[in-house]
Amino acid sequence: MKVDDKLLKKSINAAINFSVIKRDKYKDKIRKFDESIDFIINLKDINLNDPKQRIDKEVLLPNNIIPGDKPNVCVIASDEILLEAKNLNLDAIDADGLVKLNNEEKKEKKKFVKKYDFFIVEDKMMPNVARYLARFLGPLGKMPKPFPSGYGIISNPGDLQIAVDRYLKVIRIQLKKQMLIQVKIGKKSMAKDQVFENLKAVVEYVADQMPHKYNNIKSMFLKTTMGHPIKIDEQYLKSIEA
């Protein structure tokens, strides 16, 4: 089901418009926080028992999806990279901190891993990160990956700011157990053109990974955090007068 740009843009407008609570004789109600815009894509005719048809990758979008200048990351490093992390006001732990964390109870390790969206690790510390935390990072898809699968493993201080800037635009696309993918593509406060560019990038990336390209897409939806799901479909949009 290949989609055109006009349909994607109309669907974004509808998702944003329908996030506003409208009631007769009442003022329109807009949430007091900046809602995220989520994209859900349902797939078909895929064999998830075949590793080649699964997806587990960090994808760099055209535009930031995180407002501000700092993503929710933790740096695990030593020496100059650790110092640079502190200069950038990022959460960080060194080799001793990693050993200390390993000696904590299982629930504390889980809590630590869930606290952050991404981890940036100095390459020489990856063996210990894998040894101590892989069983907790792996199931959540947070295990740092080297380029081109990810951006979480670095080798020098200059790479850190680059990685941080990338993680303002990175989403984690996973297709493992269920025939669907759900990712955040932006915020309501973003320019709609930027949301559109991010959405189109995800659609094209997922279709490109499929054995039968767009024919493996069953349906697609957009929704804001508190809004109604909007199906990306001309007939549906007409039915809701979007």
DSSP string of 20-61, one letter each residue:
SB--TTS--B--SS--EEEEEEEE-S--TTSGGG-EEEEEE-
pLDDT tens across 132-175, in order? Answer: 999 999 999 899 988 888 899 999 999 999 999 999 999 999 99
Alpha-carbon distance of 221 to 195, in angstroms, equals 14
Report the pLDDT averaged over residues 15-42.
Answer: 80
- pLDDT for the residue numbered 24: 59
Architecture in CATH of 5-65+170-239: 2-Layer Sandwich (3.30)
Neighbours of 20 (CB within 10 A): 14
- pLDDT for the residue numbered 194: 97
pLDDT tens across 38-63, in order? Answer: 999 999 999 999 999 999 899 999 99
Of 99, 100, 93, the C-alpha closest to 116 is 93
pLDDT tens across 58-103, in order? Answer: 999 999 998 777 899 999 999 999 999 999 999 999 999 999 999 9
| 3-state DSSP assignment of residue 91 | strand
Report the pLDDT averaged over residues 170-185.
Answer: 94
By the 8 A CB rule, do 76 and 93 touch?
yes
Work out the percent of the chain whose per-residue pLDDT is above 70: 96
| 3-state DSSP assignment of residue 104 | coil
**CATH topology (fold) of 73-166:** Rossmann fold (3.40.50)
Query: CB within 8 A of 203, min separation 6: which ones?
Result: 3, 8, 41, 220
| Sequence ranges of the domains in the chain | 5-65+170-239, 73-166
pLDDT surpasses 90 at 192: yes
Q: Report pTM.
A: 0.89
pLDDT tens across 204-239, in order? Answer: 999 999 999 999 999 999 999 988 899 999 999 999
Q: What is the mean pLDDT of the chain?
A: 92
- pLDDT for the residue numbered 29: 65
